[in-house]
Structure 1
Amino acid sequence: MGHRPTPECSGRRCWLDISLGGGAQASGPLLLGEAPVLPEARGSLLNLKSMVEAITGRNAILSFVGYGCYCGLGGRGLPMDEVDWCCHAHDCCYQKLFDLGCHPYVDHYEHTIENNTEVVCSELNETECDKQTCECDKSVVLCLRNHTYNEKYRNYLNIYCQGPTPNCSIYEPPPEEVHPPLSCLPHLLTSAASK
């Protein structure tokens, strides 16, 4: 069996610090003789939740977990609408981070929300994983804010998610245009003029 965390107590107040793995920590008060208060967990999913709620004004869990085919964990088929496409793009962004060895579900990053309209990823984020996870989350919440939420896709049953699953490569920037060397320019101009 694993190590069980022991709360530190003072009177009726106890604090419990636990590791959730992958660098995530939970820490918070436990009140003896009363209903327990869940400790505050630190990790990207909680960062994302706070961003979604501040920027969209919607409850992140009730409104977006289970929305369409991609909001929440996993996904398949064609996204149902623009909001669902936002979630598909976010899944792809996280997949890139997993491929780099990051743990975007639990990596904690620092950010601020200004005027409930702008997300600022902090320069205090130490690792590239933290920085990129913040940018993925920032992108999805701005995308969600800019598209219409459709109640009919809330708690959508994924058995209705049909069609081909879009490949994440659709979000890759197109290859840079190849330009011929300047030394070829006079030849190309004469060839074009003679046609």
Structure 2
Amino acid sequence: MWVMHHTPCFVGSFLPSSCSASLPLSLALGCGGPVSEMAGSSQHPCSLAVLPAAHSSLLNLKSMVEAITGRNAILSFVGYGCFCGLGGRGLPMDEVDWCCHAHDCCYQKLFDQGCHPYVDHYEHAIENNATIVCSELNKTECDKQTCECDKSLALCLQSQTYNEEHRNYLNIYCHGPTPNCSIYEPPQEEAASIHISPEPSAPP
């Protein structure tokens, strides 16, 4: 994203925890989480956090969250719970926190596929401040899936109750086992059925 202290950042665990110590709070709105701690993958470079907004999907996410929830994405979700703020760890505190945890995992899956969701810019539309449409103009699978991840987060946040007591929560108080991203994966049998086409029936 950006290096100025007054530059906006966005909801969810968008940046790796290795970046959080060197970034101002406004830039590290979602550092860490499953991206670096849960999935066991290598941490992503902090250089992803200093690119102009014009080259980042995070501005799209900000507009989604604010249009759908009616809340300021920065003021409402910076430091919310254990996963919408710096360094996700422990058990999510409530359903809003679970939304951010799920978004961390969604991004992690994209990284595993070779995508760069922090900077992959995609096209989308918001109709009547209620419906998010990921555009058919998104040509790459990375763009399409990043849009779907962000759309899911915005809709998830909209459907949950916001708890003011969890705002600006210090994650040093987050305890318990950190849920693994595998909880969002379909059962193996279901996943196999998705990829295996049924054999054609024998001719009569």
State if a TM-score over 0.5 links the two structures: yes
| 1:67 match: secondary structure | coil
Q: Which residue in 1 is equivalent to 2:88?
A: 75
Matching residue within 180, 187, 200 for 1:167: 180
Unmatched segments (≥5 aa) in structure 1: 1-20, 27-39, 179-195
Q: Which residue in 2 is equivalent to 1:148?
A: 161
Unmatched segments (≥5 aa) in structure 2: 1-46, 193-204
Q: Which residue in 2 is equivalent to 1:181?
A: none
Q: Which residue in 1 is equivalent to 2:189?
A: 176
CA gap of 1:105–1:73, structure 2 versus 1, over 3 A, is farther
CA distance in 1 between partners of 2:180 and 2:51 (Å)? 34
Deviation of 1:176 after TM superposition, in Å, equals 2.4
Point out the structure with the larger strand share. 1
Deviation of 1:74 after TM superposition, in Å, equals 3.7
- Rg comparison, structure with higher value: 1
1:98 is aligned to 2:79:
no
8 A contact 2:86–2:171 mirrored in 1: no
Correspondence 1:1-195 to 2 at 5 A: 26=52, 41-72=54-85, 74-176=87-189
8 A contact 1:66–1:155 mirrored in 2: yes
Moved over 3 A (4+): none
8 A contact 1:107–1:130 mirrored in 2: yes
8 A contact 1:55–1:145 mirrored in 2: yes
Identity in percent = 83
With a CA cutoff of 8 Å and minimum separation of 6, indicate the structure with the bigger relative contact order: 2
| 2:150 match: secondary structure | helix
> Number of residues paired by the alignment?
145
Superposed CA deviations along residues 135-167 of structure 1, whole A, max 9, x for unmatched, are: 000001000000000001111100111000000
| 1:91 match: secondary structure | helix
Opposite residue 67 of structure 1, the aligned amino acid is: Y
8 A contact 1:74–1:91 mirrored in 2: no
Kindly report the root-mean-square deviation, in angstroms, between the aligned alpha carbons of the 2 structures. 2.1
Superposed CA deviations along residues 87-140 of structure 1, whole A, max 9, x for unmatched, are: 000000000011111111111000000111111000000111100000000001
Deviation of 1:72 after TM superposition, in Å, equals 3.7
CA distance in 1 between partners of 2:87 and 2:133 (Å)? 27
Opposite residue 66 of structure 2, the aligned amino acid is: E
TM-score (norm 1): 0.70
CA gap of 1:102–1:73, structure 2 versus 1, over 3 A, is farther
Opposite residue 153 of structure 2, the aligned amino acid is: V
TM-score (norm 2): 0.67
CA gap of 1:74–1:127, structure 2 versus 1, over 3 A, is farther
